[in-house]
Each structure stands twice: as structure tokens, then as C-alpha cells.
Structure 1
């Protein structure tokens, strides 16, 4: 991992014009591409349900789940004819004819469902809107930065500060650019905030790369301002309420075929924002598996070796604070503790609230960093700048061999599922290696563990109910533990097991102050602050727990 960051660098576009972008080519042939998704998904589903009763059961299960979704969890973004469509499916299933004709009719119903899903999922990238939106995001964020960093009249209209002053890009940016010219990149970032998609989109632009397609939660399309941005920036829609296999197969086929077409892709393999605040330690294998299937399919279609290689690039997004932290940790605790805990609803579900969200985010002088990891192949081997795979012994290897049986490229579902599991585990390790430790992460981790050890006989939920007034840590005690843990962090960095922000190396008292000032700085109830005597206190243990979790996975508790 290179030292410093690339925030002051300017990157030229890797392709001469937007017409050469894979996502532009995909959008030009949108109807044909959707038709191909429908056809391929239908074939796969029919192959998986060869018996008449098998397909009928799949359709009935899908109908049941969709009716339940409409009743229990409707969204504004849902189509107006949602209820009517599924009522018609229900009626058609009831009225199926004789057994001889039933399979054909069932397949016709399946076709309608898959077609509906494919058209819902499909992105609607438009080159002109992309360019306009890109400039609008850049302009709007820059105005906010200038208005808040420069406290004087007229600062809103100045250009003194840009996003490059706010967002630091570290890691393998140059390699990422080279790989994007040699093959197809699948970027897999950590996911903490609703801002992640826009920030990553901006980073892709800054690095001079073509627009990526990416899966965005359908719930975000409830928010009109986000819907416009995401439609313009290459998003396709992912509805995480839909768990039925017909929808999931259609979604995976969309991703698979887009990657085969050479469209650089981005998805959050954790599946959704981290509710606990910790780096993802268990990834969803569905969309990740589509990259595996796409690579095998490319090899099968190009036996002469001309097919593009797919590269996996892990990315960690590092914030001092996450605006949604209180609601996210409430949801996590409710899931983990069932009846022991109460969950509150997401507070950023409207355009008005999202605009407030953006303004409040940029009114704080807290930096963000985006850490780009080393490129890997689908087996988790590192690749060099030319895209050549290198095994753990430093030898060049041909990834085609991993998909070969008896001298031929073959489809083997069990084998590819095992490869995908292995890849997911390697990505998690990479997240921890390229993660940048901020002072805010460290002060939260140390304070929470000092209090937790003080009340170690209580379970977590009883501990979190303790009155905050009882929580006080003598500053000298806190400082001593901070010094010890920071030393261990630097040791882990030397071992290439983590990265650190430059500010963590400063004078210890300055670093502690910076961390306390930044952690949860927006929240009305601060997770960490100092009292008049200079001791460490908290106003919100739950949110402190969220920020503490960021440092899980490094075996640091034993040093406190």
C-alpha cells in the first residue's frame, strides 16, 4: 500500500471518449440486453424446475411472498399496478387447464414475472444525464464545502475548496486504472452510509474511468433526489424485500450478462449498510457469484484465450462519523437481541431529509478516505499491473485452468460456489488490511471497552441500558490505554494487517482530542466527549458501541 494519498493528482480519462464506455454501449442496446436477460434467466429457472409440479410450486411460492410484501412492506417506489399484476397471476394459476397444457401455461406466467423483474431491475443510463449529474454533484458539494470551511459572507459562491480537500483517495489507484483498460473491473466496497454510492461514483470519475454500473437498493429510489442521481450514474435496482428465487435468478443474470458485456461493475457484497458499524465479515455470495459465472462463460466463449479477464478490487470507505449511526445500531441490536431491544425507523427516507443529511455532512470539517485495494482475480490471487495472476509463491498462473475439466472449460456449480466462498473470505481479509484507522475509531474502541470491562458481569443489552451519568473515565487512565493500543496498531501496520490515517501519528493528546471531537460529531447526543474536569464521558452508549465496532477483527481487546 503506497504511503500518502492521491488527492492532489489529476487523472486523464483512460478511454478517448464516452462513446467507448461499455456502459454506453449497454444503454444503446438496452431493449436487446433486457430481452437477453429474460431469455437466459427463463432457461436457467426452467432447467432448475424440470417437473411440472416443481415449477408450479415455485410460482405459488413467489406469488405468496409477493402478496405478503405488498401487504406488509409497501414502498412509494413500487409500481401502481403491483397489486393488480399479482392478483392476475393468482387468478391464472387457479384457472390452469389440463395437466397436458399446464406446463406451457406455467411457463407463460413465468415469462411475465421474469420480464417484469428484468425491466424493474434494468438501469437507464444516459450519457448526457450522466455528464450533467456528475457536474451537478461536483458543483453542489463544492458549494457546501466552501460555505462551511470558509466562515464568511459569499463563501457559498467561491471555489476555494473542492471535494479533493474533503475526500482522500489512497491505495492502488494507478493499478485500478490499468486493470480497467485490460479487462472488466468489479469493485466491491464496504458499505456504511447512504452516501457511499455517490462518493464511489465521484471517485470513479476523478480516477478518469468510465462510469460503472452498480446495484442500488430500490428503497433509495423512494428519495427523488437520489433516484435522479442513481438513474443518471448507472445504477440498476436491487429490491432486498424480494427473496424468491425467480427474482434472485433474474437479478443475478442481469449482473452476469452485464459483466460479460464488459461493463465495469460495483456492488456492495455485504448486501446492505453495516448495521453494527463493523467492517463486513460475512459477504453475500449471490452477486459475487455472478462475476464467477461470467468469467467461466467468457472463457467458454473464447477458447482461443481472447476473452476479457475479470478483476475484483476491494475498497474500504472510511468516515469519522456516519449520520445514520443511531438508527443503524438500533436496528442491529433489535435483530440480535430480538425482544430485548426496540428498533426505530430509518430517519432519512425522504428527499427533504436527505438534503438535510447532505448539508449536515458537509458542514462538518471531518475528512473521508477511500482506500483502494490490490486487484485480484476470481480465485483471490493478486494480479500485477498487466492483469497477470500471481499465486502465493510468486508464480504466474492461468486462471482458465481453474475452470477446466479433462482439458475443457466446463460449468460446475459446486466448484464455482466453493470458489466464490473462498473469494468472499479473501475479500474480508483485504478489507481489514486496507482499512484506515482514524483517531475517532480508536477513541471509541478504547472508551467502550474500558466501560465494558468495568461492568463485565452484565450482558451487552443490560450494559447498554446503564445510565450514561455513571460512565466516566479518568483522562490519564484513558491516555495510558490509548498509547498502548495505538502502539499495537502501528505494529499491525508494519505487518501489513491494517492501514492508518496520517493524523494518528501525531502528539498523543492532540490525536485523542481530534478523535473525540470527530466521533459522532453530528449527533445531538454525543457518543464521546470530555467534561469540565477533562475526563471522558458519553451521552449515548449505543452509538458509541456502533463506532467501537469499527475496530473489531484486530484482536485489540486484550491490550486494554
Structure 2
């Protein structure tokens, strides 16, 4: 991966919108909802072994958990008729139980009717509402708004607000395997799997897809985002399907997975965050949620079953890392992480950014600062984690061409083996984590945060993490020369890792060490009221918030750099 980033938007690979898979899906939305409903029911019946008492138990479990959700964790985005719907489901289940003289077949039909009612409601909620006119307008709004903010920030004067002196691609740098991604998107189906740090990720990835000239992707967006007005508009316009993490019952989970699998089989390029939710700790995800990821494996096998053996039936996994100097929601995210880890040992008031006003305020602040974002596109893989070449052919670790279909064949026949596919999904998840670390682009802010936290940790060896985080910030000071020497050691190791192909570096890390440190201090946590790191009047390194420093330090976990601070 080179340091070069694209400096202009690509021409679309499919100029006519009626060629876009997501448009075709939108036109067939009703039929697709019926297809997903029927496929979901078949999947649930298979999991319950077609046993009536097990189906009944799953329906009762769904009812109980949904009523608890409404009572304990309601959201504004929940439909007004939600309590009424589940009351009717309760009445229907009771009616079957109380009705005398029903045969097993009659009970089975009644339970299937109830299952269909629930599943169809779930599918209606999940399903994308993509509209080309809204997509086009949203894409223009995002590009225009971001560009104008950028230019207004960099050049003084009212006139500059309407100038095109600075490209948005200079601010949000797209690097990596962009040409391969475009080539493969015209040959098969892309499943893009990015890291997830901020609620802004969805909009940034949407803009990236558009800039690369790719047709719109469908993607799962947390239903909670639809609580925020500005995000609700963008999510609807960009074709997001809704994922409600509160719903843990089998009926919902299997319906969601079926929707994803069928959409991929339909040929829709898809995007989901395999970490499942934003990284609370600030680490690059190391443990992935395999539910939606498994739908890519399932869809690949299903395409082979349909005799789609050429590249058009191939599914390509493309890892992406989003690299920030700072994350808008970092204070609340690290609070949640530490609260979960330490329970009664850690407690602090939350600091969530949850309104359109706060999001808009953040965007203005972001663009009026000099901070950059990069989006790193990784090399495409097949569903087994093998790299693929420019023609979409799978390559083993020795560079030999392999047939992906062979992974699903037993005794000369293509067979469904759930346990085998679960193992394939785990292996794919591990490969994605490896690629996340390889294509991660280290920023100066990551270096200074990692170095400072480890120096503080080394100076307080006897303290565990939670005791360390309770240290008074006013008592923490690192001499500049000590800090500079440690940063130099960290950078030398990062350069070594880069030479081995194990990480990537932003170009500004090739600067003079003092300028790198200044750049990192200026950018790390730049939006927050309390800064993770500041330069004191006597040129010493200080912190105003140890929790935030810990959060930003975590971005370089996984490279064993902490060994540099032993002894």
C-alpha cells in the first residue's frame, strides 16, 4: 500500500442507475420482503427441528424479550403501535393454548401464522428504503457541505466559502487497493468490512463508495442512529437496512441474517461493521461478531448451488480501516468500556453526543481544524480469506490459483454443512482482523498517545489500570526529552513493522521528530474540552484526561509496542 491517495472522484463503473443492484432491489422491494420472510421462516423451522413445542418456546421467548425491551429500553424510533402489536401476539398465543380440541396440525398452522406475522414485521423494519433521487441529493449535500466547510476553514473571507481551492479528497484521504476494488465490483459482489470507531463512519464510507465511482452499497446501520434526525435522513437516503442490537431473540437474529444473505445473493454490494458496534476501547477490533459475516459465507455457497461458478457469482471480502486523529464520542465510549471492565471500580457521568445540533457543531469544529481522516482500502479476499488477483481468482499462500467451490464439496457433491461453515466464518474473521492491522494507517496522534500512556504506566508500575486512571492529572508530568526519546523508539519500531508489511504510516510521520510530536499534540483529541495531551509552559508533556489518553493509546495495541517500555 502506497502513501498516495486519490485526488479526484472516479467516473461511475455503472453510469445508469437502473443497472445498480440496489435500485433493482428497491423496485422489487415487496417481492423481496416476501422472499426474505419465507426464507427466514424456513430457517427458523430448520433450527427448531420442525418440532412444535420448540417453535412455541421460541415464539414465547420472542414475546417475553420484546415486551421487556419496550419496558426497559424504549427508543424514540420505535413504532407507536409496538406495544399494541406485541399485545396481539400475546393474545394469539394464549388463544392457541386455550382453544380446546385443536389437532397438532391446526396448532402448527396457528403457530406458523404467528411466526409469519412477527417475521414479516421484522423484515419490514429491517428492509432498506433506497430511493435514487434521495441518494443523489444526499450525496450532493454531503460533498457540497463538507467541501464548503473545508474551504471556509482554510481560506479567510466570505468569497472562499464558494471556492474550490481545496479538494475534499485532500481532507479525507482514500488510499490502498482502490483500482482492484473498482475492477472486482464490476465482476462480482463486494462485501466491505470496515473498522468502526464513530457514528460518522457510515457517512464517510458512503462518501468513499461514491467517490470511487461504485454503485451504492446496502449496509446495516444501528437502529439507534435513526433517533438522531440528521443521521436518520442520511441512513434512509443511502439505502441502509436497520439493525436493532436490542433484539436478541432467535426469530429476529435469523431474520436479519437471512435478509443479509438474500441481498448478497441478489447481487447487492454490501457493507457491515464486523465489530458489531463502535469500538468502546479505541482498539482496532480483535474479536468480531460473526453473525452477519456468516451470511457472506452462506451466500457464496448458495451462489454455487445456483451454478454461478464464474466470477459473477464470486463474493469478495474487502477490509477497510478508518483512521482518525480523534473520535467525537470518545469520552462516552471509553466510559462504557471502563464501566464494563471495572464495574463498581469505575464510574463516571456519561458524555454522549446524541443530537443533530451536537453532530453539526462537531462537523464545523472538525473542518475548522487542520485534522485529517484516511480511509484505507485493503486487498480483496474470498470468503476463505485467500487473496484474489485482478481477475477475481483465489490464490493460496503460495500464489497458486484455487477453486473456492471446492471448500463446499463433500464426496464429490456440494453440500450444506452448518458446522463447517461456522469454522469457515471464524477463519475469515481472523483474517479480517489480521488485515485490519496491516492496513491500519498510524497517525502522529496515535504515536504520542501511546508513548505518553506507557511512560506514565512505567512510572507507576505497582498500580493496576484502574488505580492508574485515578491518578490526579495535575500530578502527572513527562519531561520533553524523555518523551522525545521514547517517541523515537516507537517510531523506529513502527517503521520496521511497515517494512515487514505489518502496518502502514501516514506521510507526516516522515517529518522531523519534534514536528511529528507537535503535530500529534495538536491533533490528538482536539475537539474535547479536556485534552488527552498538552505541552506545558515548561515544555513538559501533561494530560488533562487520563481516560481519554488511554482510549487514544489503545489504537496501537496489537503490535507488541508496549515491550519497548519494559524495564
The CA RMSD over aligned residues, in Å, is 1.2
Alpha-carbon shift at residue 180 of structure 1 (Å): 0.3
**Residues 1:298 and 1:487: Cα distance change in structure 2 (over 3 Å):** same
Map 1:47-66; keep pairs closer than 5 Å. 47-49=46-48, 50-66=50-66
Given the alignment of the two structures, is residue 21 of structure 1 paired with residue 26 of structure 2, yes or no?
Answer: no
Aligned partner of residue 501 in structure 2, secondary structure: coil
Following the alignment from structure 1 to structure 2, what is the Cα–Cα distance between the partners of residues 122 and 490?
45
Kept in 1, the 8 Å contact 2:377–2:439? The answer is: yes
Equivalent residue, structure 1, for 2:31 = 32
Structure 2 counterpart of 1:505, from 506, 510, 528: 510
Equivalent residue, structure 1, for 2:87 = 87
Map 1:265-414; keep pairs closer than 5 Å. 265-302=270-307, 305=310, 308-342=313-347, 344-345=349-350, 347-414=352-419
Equivalent residue, structure 2, for 1:110 = 115
Runs ≥4 residues deviating over 3 A: 303-307, 343-346
Kept in 2, the 8 Å contact 1:7–1:167? The answer is: no
Following the alignment from structure 1 to structure 2, what is the Cα–Cα distance between the partners of residues 251 and 7?
35
Post-superposition CA distance 1:343-394 (Å, at most 9, x none): 5446222222222222222222100001000000000000001101000011
Equivalent residue, structure 1, for 2:68 = 68
Given the alignment of the two structures, is residue 233 of structure 1 paired with residue 232 of structure 2, yes or no?
Answer: no
Following the alignment from structure 1 to structure 2, what is the Cα–Cα distance between the partners of residues 337 and 103?
47
Alpha-carbon shift at residue 154 of structure 1 (Å): 3.6
Alpha-carbon shift at residue 102 of structure 1 (Å): 1.9
Kept in 2, the 8 Å contact 1:331–1:343? The answer is: no
Following the alignment from structure 1 to structure 2, what is the Cα–Cα distance between the partners of residues 493 and 414?
37
Kept in 1, the 8 Å contact 2:331–2:352? The answer is: no
**Residues 1:304 and 1:209: Cα distance change in structure 2 (over 3 Å):** closer
Map 1:166-205; keep pairs closer than 5 Å. 166-205=171-210
Alpha-carbon shift at residue 5 of structure 1 (Å): 2.1
Aligned partner of residue 129 in structure 2, secondary structure: coil
Following the alignment from structure 2 to structure 1, what is the Cα–Cα distance between the partners of residues 35 and 447?
49
- The TM-score with structure 2 as length reference comes to 0.97
Kept in 1, the 8 Å contact 2:188–2:311? The answer is: no
Kept in 2, the 8 Å contact 1:299–1:307? The answer is: no
Post-superposition CA distance 1:490-540 (Å, at most 9, x none): 000000000000000110000011001100011110000110000100000
Equivalent residue, structure 1, for 2:126 = 121
Alpha-carbon shift at residue 156 of structure 1 (Å): 2.6
Map 1:207-226; keep pairs closer than 5 Å. 207-226=212-231
Map 1:381-460; keep pairs closer than 5 Å. 381-460=386-465
**Residues 1:346 and 1:45: Cα distance change in structure 2 (over 3 Å):** farther
Given the alignment of the two structures, is residue 131 of structure 1 paired with residue 130 of structure 2, yes or no?
Answer: no
Alpha-carbon shift at residue 307 of structure 1 (Å): 5.3
- The TM-score with structure 1 as length reference comes to 0.98
> Runs of 5+ in structure 1 lacking a partner?
none
Following the alignment from structure 2 to structure 1, what is the Cα–Cα distance between the partners of residues 123 and 236?
16
Aligned partner of residue 415 in structure 1, secondary structure: helix
> Runs of 5+ in structure 2 lacking a partner?
none
Kept in 2, the 8 Å contact 1:301–1:307? The answer is: no
Kept in 1, the 8 Å contact 2:311–2:392? The answer is: no
Post-superposition CA distance 1:112-160 (Å, at most 9, x none): 1000000000000011111111001111111211221223334333332
Alpha-carbon shift at residue 19 of structure 1 (Å): 1.1
Equivalent residue, structure 2, for 1:160 = 165
**Residues 1:58 and 1:502: Cα distance change in structure 2 (over 3 Å):** same
Aligned partner of residue 208 in structure 1, secondary structure: coil
Equivalent residue, structure 1, for 2:78 = 78
**Residues 1:303 and 1:472: Cα distance change in structure 2 (over 3 Å):** closer
Task: Figure out how many residues of one structure are paired with residues of the other and give that number.
Answer: 559
Equivalent residue, structure 2, for 1:151 = 156
Alpha-carbon shift at residue 105 of structure 1 (Å): 1.0
Aligned partner of residue 314 in structure 1, secondary structure: strand
Aligned partner of residue 379 in structure 2, secondary structure: coil
Following the alignment from structure 1 to structure 2, what is the Cα–Cα distance between the partners of residues 306 and 526?
50
Alpha-carbon shift at residue 204 of structure 1 (Å): 0.6
Aligned partner of residue 278 in structure 1, secondary structure: coil
